[in-house]
Chains A and B, each alone.
Chain A
Amino acid sequence: MCLAIPAEIVALEQGDMAVAAVEGIRKRISTALLDEVAVGDFVLVHVGYALHRLSPDEAERTLALMEEAGVLDSELDEMQGGG
């Protein structure tokens, strides 16, 4: 729920603020809910606040799991006696 979009931190500002960017769209957001944020981090942005850092490793892992779940199609075909 709640519309939140992964965005890249491209600049840090005073007072718990930062600039987040997606595809060239830049928005000033608050980092008050996170402990440390660095330029280059990806964060989830919701109503103008960074809510959580996004883990690139976990993102890769999840995509790999999804791919794996699908890739056994051909083996399924074989099990079911051919396509």
Chain B
Amino acid sequence: MTGDRIDMTHGGGGRATADLVAQLFRRHLGNPVLDACEDGAVITSPGDRLVLSTDGHVISPLFFPGGDIGSLAVNGTVNDLAMMGARPLYLTAGFILEEGFPLADLDRIVASMGAASRAAGVEIVAGDTKVVEQGKGDGVFITTTGLGVVPAGIAPGVTGARPGMAVLLSGTIGDHGVAVLSKRENLDFETDILSDCAALNGLVAAMLAAVPDIAVLRDPTRGGLSAALNEIAQASGVGIALNEAAIPLLPGVAAACELLGLDPLNTANEGKLVAICPADKAAALLAAMQAHPLGRDAAIIGKVTDQAGMVQMTTAFGGARMVDWLQGEQLPRIC
């Protein structure tokens, strides 16, 4: 490849594109299917119940403490499949690159995707690259689609919560949001907090082995834990009562949120999940989660109630408050 930046020829479909695919993409993502360089990936059907998921990734900044847009893209789609109880198998990745984007950065991102997909046990079997003019894209946008298989009898879903069930959380909240915010301009603060970006399929497999009738699995991403719980409450027609003291929170995340006037409940995560299961299975589920590296800090944080649509929390202070569903982005405040 000539030059050190993406230019319009890379998207032209000619030799430059082919070189980019061979020398950058396949170098990091290579596997027999991808290396065949066909127009499509032929896969032997892995089972009866297939799960498909797709996601676009536009995060800025592209590189943040603990991850980048590449690892985010892979883990995000793997997690969507895992929340359906599925074993993730294959991913596709589409790239929209802005003219002028440094090839060294692209290399880093794709290398990160390779590492993430190997860690999650998935293969990226098809991809596409397009280039847009300078100013028409924010460096790089990535769209990932994932395919997984889910065995019969396993059916966690957002409508499955019932009054009396236990609500569990796999670990500390707000890590990703704070890590990303620390790099945003005009907010810069120094922190050791890393994004929790991770593939949760291994944890989910261990959880389903211990408690096959988990009713709900959901990963709280943008919008934070509050959004995920409100989605579940609304879809299932139930309420949720939380115990603030039980919610795991890193002191640094708490402090960053205090400084900026943010609520950790509304702050993004990329490597956590909420699980809802019958109350008599909660102890077994918690044990399975805590035995897994990604669930070390897991806790039972509340229970499902019959007050439809109400997500409430008993504060560590002793009073009660609602946990509202933020639809816009959380903005730092002075007041």
Contact = CB atoms under 8 A, between A and B. Distances in A.
A33 interface: no
A5 B259 contact: yes
A63 to B, nearest CB: 15
A1 interface: yes
Interface of B: 189-193, 251-252, 254-256, 258-259, 261, 333-335
B197 to A, nearest CB: 20
B334 A25 contact: no
B333 A3 contact: yes
A22 B334 contact: no
A81 interface: no
Contacts of B335: 1-3
Contacts of A23: 251-252, 254-255
Nearest to A1: B335
A17 to B, nearest CB: 14
A27 B251 contact: no
Contacts of A2: 334-335
Interface in A1-34: 1-3, 5, 7, 22-27
B250 to A, nearest CB: 8
Nearest to A46: B334
A47 interface: yes
Contact of A24 (B191, B258, B261, B334): B191
A50 interface: no
Contacts of A26: 189-191
8 contacts: A3-B334, A3-B335, A5-B255, A5-B258, A24-B252, A25-B191, A25-B193, A25-B259
A45 to B, nearest CB: 7
B190 A27 contact: yes
Chain A interface mostly: strand
B191 A3 contact: no
Contacts of B334: 2-3, 46-47
Contacts of A46: 334
B261 A25 contact: no
A30 B334 CA distance: 16
Contact of A22 (B193, B258, B261): B258
A78 B190 CA distance: 54
B246 to A, nearest CB: 20
A24 B333 contact: no
The 9 A-B residue pairs with the shortest CB-CB distance in the complex, in nearest-first order: A23-B255, A22-B255, A23-B251, A26-B190, A27-B189, A25-B255, A24-B252, A3-B261, A25-B256
A23 B333 CA distance: 20
A25 B333 contact: no
B263 to A, nearest CB: 12
Nearest to B260: A3
A19 to B, nearest CB: 8
A22 B259 contact: yes
Contacts of A24: 191-193, 251-252, 255
Interface string A24-62: 111100000000000000000111000000000000000
A47 to B, nearest CB: 5
Given A7-B259, A22-B255, A25-B255, 15 more contacts: A1-B335, A2-B335, A3-B334, A22-B258, A23-B251, A23-B254, A23-B255, A24-B252, A25-B191, A25-B193, A25-B259, A26-B189, A26-B191, A27-B189, A46-B334
B261 to A, nearest CB: 5
Given A2-B334, A2-B335, A46-B334, A27 B252 contact: no
Nearest to B182: A25
A7 B333 CA distance: 18
A5 B189 CA distance: 14
A48 to B, nearest CB: 10
A2 B261 CA distance: 10
